[in-house]
């Protein structure tokens, strides 16, 4: 089943927004989990925040690809 141009543009916009949500989510996760705990808890908060933040490039790349596919004449 082929996706229509409208669906591809919607997916592109969604992935673009999710990229920014991922960046904000990483900051929120890091701030919420770090607290005033032990060094191990601080390290875990940093690693988990980085993990969530790494989703952003994936969403931005997907957004770009969907936009490219939507712009093709043969779609």
The answer to the question of residue 27 being in a domain is yes
The answer to the question of residue 62 being in a domain is yes
pLDDT tens, 38-68? Answer: 888 888 888 888 998 899 999 999 999 999 9
The answer to the question of residue 39 being in a domain is yes
The answer to the question of residue 22 being in a domain is yes
Helices and strands in the chain: count of H runs, count of E runs: 3, 0
Range of the domain at 46: 12-71
The answer to the question of residue 42 being in a domain is yes
Please count the structural domains in the chain: 1
Token pair 């060094």: residue = 39
Between CA 4 and CA 1 the distance in angstroms is 10
pTM over 0.75: yes
CA-wise closest residue to 41 among 51, 27, 31: 31
pLDDT tens, 9-27? Answer: 999 999 999 999 999 999 9
The answer to the question of residue 18 being in a domain is yes
The answer to the question of residue 2 being in a domain is no
């Amino acid at each position: 089943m082929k996706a229509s141009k409208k669906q591809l543009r919607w997916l592109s916009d969604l992935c673009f927004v999710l990229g920014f949500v991922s960046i904000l989510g990483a900051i929120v996760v890091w701030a919420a989990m770090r607290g005033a705990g032990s060094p191990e808890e601080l390290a875990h908060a940093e690693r988990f925040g980085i993990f969530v933040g790494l989703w952003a490039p994936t969403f931005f790349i997907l957004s770009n690809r969907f936009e490219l596919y939507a712009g093709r004449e043969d779609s």
